[in-house]
Amino acid sequence: MAKGLLKDFLWGGATAANQCEGGWQEDGKGIGLIDVLPYGPDRMPVAKGEKIMLDCDDEHLYPSHEAIDFYHHYKEDIALFAEMGFKCFRMSLSWTRIYPNGTEDAPNEAGLAFYDDVFEECLKYGIQPIVTLCHFDLPVALLKEFGGWKSRKMIDCYLKYCETVFRRYKDKVKYWITFNEINMLNHLPFSSCGLMVEEGENGQNVKYNCAHHELIASAKAVKLAHEIIGEDCMVGCMLAGGSFYPYSCDPRDVWQAKQTERGNYFFIDVQSRGRYPNYALKWMERDGVVLDWQEEDEQILAEGTVDFIGFSYYCSRCDTADPEVSAKRTAANAFRTVRNPHLQASEWGWQIDPLGLRITMNDLYDRYQKPLFIVENGLGAKDTVKDDGTIDDDYRIAYLREHIRTMIEAVTEDGIPLMGYTMWSPVDLVSASTGEMSKRYGFIYVDKDDQGKGTLERKRKKSFYWYKKVIESNGTELD
């Protein structure tokens, strides 16, 4: 056993309802934001809120509608997770399965029953569910009615949903996450939380008010979870992580990188410390932001701080003050980052930086001193099924091996308390950014292509057997 890794370290994998469930209108489910996000050239403009499409049409393909049909394959998928020895499974609830429009008085029993079945299936194998309440997914009806998180009314809708699921699943779920990658509001404002800026509105004002409502909702949810489920439950925040490096040691680059990084930390600074950081208050003052600040908000934020820092890590990022260097950017999980000449990139341009995970963990722990949880890390790559049906994904094994190695070093050499590691995603699913199926992450291959064709058959890749060994050895056998 690796010295320092917890004996009951939570090894597992992470998915999200909107990218795997399908069954988009089954058993009373309402339409979620992600259900109107098309595949193809319109996807990014819609995801960024530049183009508004709140209804589906016949011209577009909508990957979430069937996704990988986890809705009907969950038993098979969870059995495969159990075969790899998972200790936990991070998943999200689809808000619209439970409150189809978000404003009903009573929840949809069929939706609640589905998650009962999923949790029972996990617990049968001793797999702890880690549940994200809102992973890029909210009722479209709330967007149409209130304009989404721009409105303070969203807080009550969210809390009603939280209260329902906390009461229903209190004996089955002990780990919760309030919002997935809350800082994604900066990068994909529509797909992350339904933000639409209308003409004439101050974009910064809308953004910060939207964030404020989410932060109040998150704090209230943390408190409520502890009241309903008890003190043994843990509620975390979730950052789209990856430290920012200055492109050079020019102080102007250092300053620029710090500022950009703060734009992401801002959200979890509030969730973790229970108050707004001074730099953010100054930014809002500068940008003419008038926050919907109610008298009780100070206390709500202070009383609802998170128990752990959840974060995703795919790559590090880089920034510069030099406009010429700044023009050469590449993708970094929806962020556009300056290309780092020291790193190689994935087929989608995300720069591969295992040591960056250790750096990010240290940065986060230095900043918050709360237990960390790596709730996403993985490599999106094209896989080939050979004639004999096998899939040799050595590139994925290499990526994960090096990241897990530095993760263990952060624990054993730097003393960072780490609750667990859920790799994204144990089973191939729809890519959040591109809507592709061919951007595969899984240990388990799913027969489906970008056009939505395929049998949905599941197959174990080479990495499946590798990860099983990693878990069995608690991280000592990585080769």
Task: Point out the residues that are catalytic.
Answer: 181, 376
Shortest Å distance, C-beta 58 to ligand BGP: 26
Dihedral of CA 399/401/404/408: which sign? negative
What is the closest distance, in whole angstroms, from the C-beta atom of residue 16 to ligand BGP in the complex?
A: 5
For residue 286, give every residue at least 6 positions away whose Cβ sits within 8 Å of its Cβ, in sequence order, or none.
none
- Which run of H or of E encompasses 110? helix 109-124
For ligand BGP, the closer CB: 211 or 300: 211
192 contacts: CB under 8 Å, gap ≥ 6:
136, 180, 181, 182, 184, 185
Closest approach, Cβ 21 to ligand BGP, in A, equals: 13
Nearer to ligand BGP, 188 or 321 (CB): 188
How far apart are CB 360 and ligand BGP at their closest, in Å? 14
Nearest to ligand BGP of 35, 181 (CB atom): 181
Nearest Cα residue to 203 out of 331, 50, 329: 50
Minimum distance from CB of 219 to ligand BGP (Å)?
Answer: 21
**By C-alpha distance, which of 356, 311, 314 is closest to 331?**
314
| 180 versus 205: smaller Cβ distance to ligand BGP | 180
Three-state secondary structure call for residue 331: strand
Least distance CB 348 / ligand BGP (angstroms):
7
d(CA 315, CA 378): 10
| Residue closer to ligand BGP, measured from CB, 22 or 107 | 22
Output 274 or 356, the one with its CB closest to ligand BGP.
356
| 3-state secondary structure at position 433 | coil
Fill in the amino acid letter for 276.
Y
Report the SS3 class of residue 453: coil
Please check whether residue 111 is in contact with residue 97, taking contact to mean a CB–CB distance below 8 angstroms: yes
| Residue 266 neighbours by CB under 8 Å, 6+ apart | 183, 211, 277, 279, 280
Residue placing its CB nearer to ligand BGP in the complex, 118 or 239: 239
Q: Which residues pair with 373 in a beta bridge?
A: 310
Tell me the closest approach of the beta carbon of residue 188 to ligand BGP, in angstroms: 9
Task: Kindly state the smallest distance separating residue 376's Cβ from ligand BGP, in Å.
Answer: 6
What CA–CA distance (Å, rounded) separates 354 from 346? 13
Based on CB atoms, which residue is closest to ligand BGP, 169 or 350? Answer: 350
In which residue are the tokens 């949905």 written? Answer: 456
66 with 207: CB under 8 angstroms? no
Pick 226 or 448: Cβ nearer ligand BGP = 448
Question: Do residues 240 and 179 make contact, with C-beta atoms less than 8 angstroms apart?
Answer: no
DSSP for 182-242, written as a single string: GGGGGT-HHHHH---PPTTS-HHHHHHHHHHHHHHHHHHHHHHHHHHH-TT-EEEEEEEE-
Q: Interface with ligand BGP by CB under 6 A: which residues?
A: 16, 19, 180-181, 240, 312, 333, 376, 380, 424, 431-433, 439
Structure tokens at 88: 């936990």
Smallest separation, CB 436 to ligand BGP (Å)? 8
58: buried, middle or exposed (CB in 10 Å: 19+, 13-18, 0-12)? exposed
Calpha distance 314→367 (Å, rounded): 20
